[in-house]
A and B are shown apart, each in its own frame.
Chain A
């Protein structure tokens, strides 16, 4: 209310302040610090995304066998449980489980805390890759910076070929797209050309790799692609 005459007009009583600040700046600042911190130790961070059950944990287990379980550390994001951390521990992979409870994605602050704890336990010593298995979700984790050098999206054939058309943003930000459960493609009418057409619309340069649990060579190919992409991006990321 105007103090002079009691009217409700406060047009001249206010001042516009220009701010122009990103609302994600605090998260992005932490992510930037994480990237540098890991880079100083020669560790490349991968943000692994995909729907629940897409095959993220399986991909981590299989490529770790190729790249060496002692070279890889994992941060697991799930709403509840430490099931995935146990699956990784079974084959000797160091991992840290984050339970977000109702949280639908991970943020840089959670990753920073996880890295701190892992360092205290010497879990990052001598590691080459830090893989973040994000919460199973094709919507919310998209575009959230965690200090990663690349996003990789896992989509299983059983989810259907329309995922890039329906959830474009997550595919837009990724460098590698894994078509998992490729062994099931023929049973679930997976139309690969339609998948590829839609994914290229939002990300013309994305690298597509197919994996099947019963085909160890498919994970060797994936590991090779990851190395190549990492090499290519060395000088222009974060």
Chain B
């Protein structure tokens, strides 16, 4: 687990969940609150999980479109289906705040 690498208490951690990653913020927060009790340095950690929009780039017209609720991968400008996902498939631990 990435979060227990630091020996000092971690007061907060932030995670970004891409809307195309298959993960959702709510269950991550739910399970984190359960497992954090087992780690001394995570006991008081507040987890901030935010969902971020996806982005696709059109290979026909070059424009980029944003995706949020539904994963519809057509270019929003020219409606071409030849698009590439450039963002939104990952789940990242961005930063942690450690008490000194």
Q: Is the CB of A18 within 8 A of B95?
A: yes
B68 at the interface (CB under 8 A from A): no
Q: Is the CB of B95 within 8 A of A16?
A: yes
Q: Is the CB of A168 within 8 A of B81?
A: no
**Most chain B CB atoms below 10 A, which of A10, A19, A203:** A19
Given contacts A17-B98, A19-B95, A21-B93, contact A172 B71 (CB under 8 A): yes
**Most chain A CB atoms below 10 A, which of B70, B73, B82:** B73
- A131 vs B81: C-alpha distance when bound (angstroms): 28
B2 at the interface (CB under 8 A from A): yes
Contact of A16 among B83, B89, B97 (CB under 8 A): B97
Q: Is the CB of A18 within 8 A of B90?
A: no
A142 at the interface (CB under 8 A from B): yes
B96 at the interface (CB under 8 A from A): yes
**Which B residues between 46 and 100 are near A, CB-CB below 8 angstroms?**
70-74, 80-83, 89-100
Q: Is the CB of B72 within 8 A of A143?
A: no
Q: Is the CB of B92 within 8 A of A22?
A: yes
- A15 vs B95: C-alpha distance when bound (angstroms): 10
Q: Is the CB of B73 within 8 A of A14?
A: no
Given contacts A200-B81, A204-B73, contact A14 B98 (CB under 8 A): yes
User: B90 → chain A, closest Cβ, in Å?
Assistant: 5
User: B9 → chain A, closest Cβ, in Å?
Assistant: 9
Q: Is the CB of A14 within 8 A of B82?
A: no
Residue of B at shortest CB range from A16? B97
B42 at the interface (CB under 8 A from A): no
Given contacts A14-B98, A204-B81, contact A20 B92 (CB under 8 A): yes
Residue of A at shortest CB range from B2? A21
**Most chain B CB atoms below 10 A, which of A16, A20, A142:** A16
A102 at the interface (CB under 8 A from B): no
Given contacts A13-B100, A14-B98, contact A202 B92 (CB under 8 A): no
Residues of A within 8 A of B (CB): 10, 13-24, 139-140, 142-143, 168-169, 172, 200-205
Residues of B within 8 A of A (CB): 2, 6, 11, 15, 20-22, 70-74, 80-83, 89-100
If A168-B71, A169-B71 are given as contacts, then 13 extra A-B residue pairs at C-beta distance below 8 Å, sorted by A number, are: A13-B99, A14-B99, A18-B95, A19-B94, A20-B95, A21-B92, A139-B22, A142-B22, A168-B70, A172-B20, A201-B70, A203-B73, A205-B82
